[in-house]
Structure 1
Amino acid sequence: MTTVSDVRAGRMSVSIINGVATMEICNLAQRNALTRDMCLEIQELMPRLDADPDVAVVVLRGAGDTFCAGASISELSSVLMDPQPDGTSVDHLSGADAAIASLSKPSVALVDGACMGGGWQIASACDFIIANERAVIGLTPAKIGIIYPRPGIERLVRLVGHANAKYILLSGLTFSATEARTLGLAADVVPSEFFEEKCAALVSTLRSRSRFSMHAMKRLMDAAPSDVDREWAEAWSAMPDSPDMGIGIRAFLNREQPEFTWRPAAEPHPGV
């Protein structure tokens, strides 16, 4: 296990075990609310995890029985509108969002308990959200007189559509896990008694898949419209050169489990 930062109030804890990096939001005194420093820590940690050859999958979750209560109310201004010497301001929550969304590796948010406001924004920056059936999700800026950050609103509209996005944001209602899945706020809901087991099995499944396939398809789905044609051409032409294609075909024909070997260019290949 590799510990990147200590477990203490208002910090992020990261462990790396068997290719899976688990980042835990640790601020139990404030129901895992995100402070300015925690948002900055996410921005610092994510590129390191992306570059780490020992990491194949990134998991985001909250400490204890709460995922995240959103941005810390006592630090709300410094989290969302931190004034800079040049007169501008910085939205550190959206900076943390961008750092998670920029991962080239698959990422999953495991949501247990409350996932409120900015908590959903950083969870949704992962590739998908798996929610415990006891989880509740709410986007509540209208209850405290603020505007949800632009990246969060834009992703919300993409995931749930304009009408549902307006319903969620303007009402400020809190939804059960099942309701959240129906709306498109979560990809799946798992019964509480099986949550840890099912999530561990899912992460193990991701760990066993072809990194070439996952990295390429994630990049293609996230590509900007202006880059889609170029990204597709590059990915398609790279496929025959990837060892994973031959490994996967042979394993399928032999009814075996494939052991894929492709690694990103920045990572050492097996035997190198």
Structure 2
Amino acid sequence: MTDQPILKTINGNVATLTLNRPKGFNSFNREMALLFQDELKACDKDDSIRAILVTGEGKAFCAGQDLKEVTTPELNPGFKKILKEHYNPIIELIRNIEKPIVCAVNGVAAGAGANIALACDIVIASEHASFIQAFSKIGLVPDSAGTFFLPRLIGFQKASALMMLGDKVSAKEAEELGMIYKVFSAEDYFSEAEKTVQTLSQMPTKALGMTKRLLNQSMTNTLTEQLELEGKLQIEAAQSEDYAEGVDAFVNKRKPEFKGR
């Protein structure tokens, strides 16, 4: 296994990005954060990539920030730079790339690691995975959009308790709360995640991207604004090659072959 902090593999129309600092439970340092951004941007620009899978190497998905970095004076970028240049751009990329991003959580997802997972479009977890808003344990506040997404996923009261108490949430409980999509056995979760992302990679990419845009805007739009945006994007989707293919396939009772155009 290479010591590159982010591994990238391509299978068909799917790019898999693996967080690869297993000895540090895939915690983020500056090198890893910037490389992750670079790889996400490359996936965004590559039209042959129509879906992205994010996972972690080893026992953990991601333990959040590498505390060794922030407690070593000559390495510490400072929290202002860490948030502005590391985590905030990662979250923005995950939400603004108009391709589906599936997260396969193999183990613990803590702090920023948990919130990066929750920012993805679909989260599939191993039965051994867990999610922890660990910030309060060391006197910090949640970042990486945790305070934005978690209350919307599971409700204000539950999110408040998890963030203040720092309780560990099992994969099963996360699924029951609506925090994640599905949980599978440790043997099956990754193959199920791969099936999901491969399915998405063969679907109408433009329509999925516009759906993602609508979901993003629904966080802040009024009902009227959302209806107007739905109308605008529906007209745009109806002009795509994939729409024409989908209708033709339906009429002729055959399986559609979407091209992402």
- Give the aligned partner of residue 250 of structure 1: 248
> What is the total number of aligned residue pairs between the two structures?
253
1:129 to 108, 123, 131: 123
User: 1:25, CA displacement in angstroms?
Assistant: 0.4
- Is 1:225 the counterpart of 2:221? The answer is yes
Shift of 1:91: 5.6
Check the 8 A contact 1:39/1:95 in 2, yes or no.
no
What are the Cα deviations for residues 183-223 of structure 1, in whole angstroms up to 9, with x where unaligned?
Answer: 23211111222223222221221112111321121111112
The question of 1:97 aligning with 2:95 is answered no
Match of 1:225, SS?
coil
Q: Residues 69 and 83 from structure 1, CA distance in 2 versus in 1: closer, same or farther, beyond 3 angstroms?
A: closer
CA separation of 1:238 and 1:91: change in aligned 2, threshold 3 A: closer
Question: How far apart, in 1, do the equivalents of 2:233 and 2:200 lie?
Answer: 20
Identity over aligned pairs, percent: 28
Whether the 8 Å CA contact 2:202–2:259 is kept in 1: the answer is no
SS of the equivalent of 2:15 reads strand
Change in 2 beyond 3 A, CA 1:134/1:173: same
Shift of residue 46 of structure 1? 1.6
Q: For 1:126-205, what aligned pairs fall within 5 Å after superposition?
A: 126-149=120-143, 151-205=145-199
Out of 197, 201, 206, the position equivalent to 2:200 is: 206
Structure-2 separation of matches of 1:55 and 1:79? 33
Structure 1 residue 83: Cα displacement:
5.2
TM-score by length of 2: 0.88
Relative to structure 1, the CA distance from residue 262 to residue 142 in structure 2 (aligned partners, 3 Å threshold; closer, same or farther) is closer
Kept after mapping to 1: 8 A contact 2:91/2:144: no
The answer to whether structure 1 residue 8 and structure 2 residue 15 are counterparts is no
Distance 1:102 1:212, change over 3 A: closer
Further displaced range: 36-45 or 109-118: 36-45
Shift in alpha-carbon separation, 1:114–1:215, aligned structure 2, 3 A:
same
Judged with a 3 Å threshold, the aligned counterparts in structure 2 of structure 1 residues 127 and 76 are, in CA distance, closer, same or farther, namely: farther
- More contact order relative to length (CA 8 Å, sep ≥ 6): 2
Residue 21 of structure 1 deviates from its aligned partner by: 0.7
Aligned-residue offset at 1:243: 2.0
Please give the TM-score of this superposition, normalised by the length of structure 1. Answer: 0.85
What is the alpha-carbon root mean square deviation over aligned residues? 2.2
Partner of 1:267: none
Q: Does 1:241 align with 2:239?
A: yes
The runs of 4+ residues in structure 1 deviating greater than 6 Å are none
Shift of 1:249: 2.1
Q: Which residue in 1 is equivalent to 2:66?
A: 72
Q: Cα offset for 1:150?
A: 6.2
Contact 1:80 1:93 in 2 (8 A): no
Task: Please state how far the C-alpha of 1:33 moved relative to its aligned partner.
Answer: 0.7
- Alpha-carbon distance in structure 2 between the residues aligned to 1:83 and 1:198: 36
Question: How far does residue 230 in structure 1 lie from its aligned partner after superposition?
Answer: 5.2
Could you report, residue by residue, the CA deviation over 1:118-169 in whole angstroms, capped at 9, with x for unpaired residues? 1111111211211111111111111111111162211111111110111111
